[in-house]
Structure 1
Amino acid sequence: MDVRIFDTQLELDAFAAELFTDIVKSKPNAVLGLATGSTPVGIYAKMVEKYRKGDVSFADVTTFNLDEYVGLKPYNDQSYAYYMNKHLFAHIDIPDTQTFLPNGMAEDLEAECAQYDRMLLERQIDVQLLGIGHNGHIGFNEPDHALSGETHVVKLKDETREANARFFASMDEVPEYAITMGVGSILKANSIVLVVRGADKADIVKQALTGPITTEVPASLLQTHPRVTVLLDREAGRMLG
């Protein structure tokens, strides 16, 4: 693993954006795996900035998102489809037909998962962006005695729903289920960029990067991947040697 610790969020965001745009510049039809939440917002802003300066075009890029809530329509302002349009897609030249997220409104969720996996098999992700939950989840792959390798529907743990409740009017509005790319699909990416911020994530960062590989800390499985870049702010990396 290539672990880098940054003094400021701006430095971290700029470095991460450079990683992604360099891949696109060297491979214009790159396949990008994207994430949501508060962690990537600054990274996407820097990518948009580079596009507006004419440094990069996303016209031939394809994207796959990690996950989506079940039961939220794409125009719901808490859906991940809405998030991606707000923070990235609406501000760059990527066609809508080349951006993919699981459909949390599908009538047959199992069929939707199978379809998403078929698309992932057809196009290897060149670089996958990840965050990490306080319990070590990546995507919405929650700690368990076993993990699913493929895209699947997951019942979100209370701690995950509580962590995401800040984005909703109340805890009751936080969906109980989501569709998520499986750990196996995540690990098939050619390279992975894990971004973590904040002192509250320091302990799980240490467990994930230096502890035993266990499904009880899903992010620890990243230790098995040959090309992982970890970008941390000082607080998130404070427990590393």
Structure 2
Amino acid sequence: MINPSKNFSVSSLKVNVYNSEAEIARAAAEIVYEYLYNVLQEQETASVLLATGNSQLKFLDELISLGGIDWSRVTCFHLDEYLGISANHSASFRQYLREKVEQKVHPQVFHYIEADAQQPLIECARYSELLQTHKIDLCLLGIGENGHLAFNDPKVADFNDPYTVKLVKLDEVNRQQQVNTGYFSNIEQVPQYAFTVTIPTICAAKRIICLAPGQRKAKIIAQMLRREVTTTCPASILRHQTQATLFLDADSASLI
């Protein structure tokens, strides 16, 4: 087990700081492995809500390499997807999760947001109903450079959202981040709208693991942990979640 170089709490949120992204990936994988193993010892099935993005890649590889989880008893969901994008598009989160997770561990079922559905509002309702019939045992998160969780950007985030899944317009910071991380060549290619699981749904998960490595995240992490809890930094709501742990590396923790 890799021990953090520093650990502390901000309100109810536990914060672990490691020396590198590689250490985050290994430490988080070991914690998630132990948690999921114990959940499956106590109940027949587990439900997991997965994030995508570069912050998750090393972690997912580490988790899968540990083995020992009976994925045939795990139901998977994902947090968000671009409106209108096809399932085989190189930037599709469905494509990412099929390659990085489903094809490697073969869960009991992976419920995907069908982003190119002909009636997007009906798709929101369908996916909402699926989520509502499962208690989410584990939610895996990243944090956007604007503080978003999933695609809950500051202008559309609602800590008391009545919806489970909704359609949102993406802000320019979010769309540019997708370009900067290599998923699109330019901002014009990034869809303007997306499906997202809402913040109350995320916060209802029994366990939340949030990974936020890298220097690009340092400014928003400082805002998240030091300023008030507000939708101007949606990730700040994690400070009220006793079941959440935030994993930082030396770069992302450099301003706190």
- Shorter-normalised TM-score: what interval? over 0.9
Q: Does 1:193 find its partner at 2:193?
A: no
For 2:198 and 2:79, how far apart are their aligned partners in 1? 9
The alpha carbon displacement at 1:118 in A equals 1.4
Q: How does 1:113-192 map to 2 (within 5 A)?
A: 113-144=124-155, 147=158, 148-150=161-163, 151-165=165-179, 166-192=182-208
The alpha carbon displacement at 1:137 in A equals 0.6
SS at match of 1:31: strand
The alpha carbon displacement at 1:149 in A equals 4.5
For 1:2 and 1:223, how far apart are their aligned partners in 2? 8
Q: Does 1:222 find its partner at 2:233?
A: no
Distance 1:59 1:191, change over 3 A: same
State the partner residue of 2:104: 91
Contact conserved, 1:196 with 1:231, CA < 8 A, in 2?
Answer: yes
Q: Does 1:102 find its partner at 2:113?
A: yes
Give the TM-score normalised by the residue count of structure 2.
Answer: 0.87
Does 61-70 or 20-29 show the bigger shift? 20-29
Q: Which runs of 5+ in 2 are unaligned?
A: 1-12
Contact conserved, 2:138 with 2:206, CA < 8 A, in 1?
Answer: yes
Letter matched to residue 193 of structure 1: I
For 1:145 and 1:110, how far apart are their aligned partners in 2? 17
The alpha carbon displacement at 1:158 in A equals 1.2
Q: Does 1:58 find its partner at 2:71?
A: yes
For 1:20 and 1:47, how far apart are their aligned partners in 2? 8
Q: How does 1:198-213 map to 2 (within 5 A)?
A: 198-213=214-229
Distance 1:145 1:127, change over 3 A: closer
The alpha carbon displacement at 1:107 in A equals 1.5
For 1:154 and 1:234, how far apart are their aligned partners in 2? 33
Does 14-23 or 73-82 show the bigger shift? 14-23
Contact conserved, 2:152 with 2:199, CA < 8 A, in 1?
Answer: yes
4+ runs deviating over 4 angstroms: none
Which string of whole-angstrom CA distances, capped at 9 and with x for unpartnered residues, describes residues 58-79 of structure 1?
1110111000111111111210
Paired residues, number: 235
Give the TM-score normalised by the residue count of structure 1.
Answer: 0.92
Letter matched to residue 135 of structure 2: Q
For 1:146 and 1:83, how far apart are their aligned partners in 2? 25
RMSD across aligned positions (CA): 1.5
State percent identity of aligned pairs: 29
For 1:163 and 1:13, how far apart are their aligned partners in 2? 21
Q: Does 1:112 find its partner at 2:123?
A: yes
State the partner residue of 1:36: 52
The alpha carbon displacement at 1:195 in A equals 0.7
For 2:173 and 2:156, how far apart are their aligned partners in 1? 17
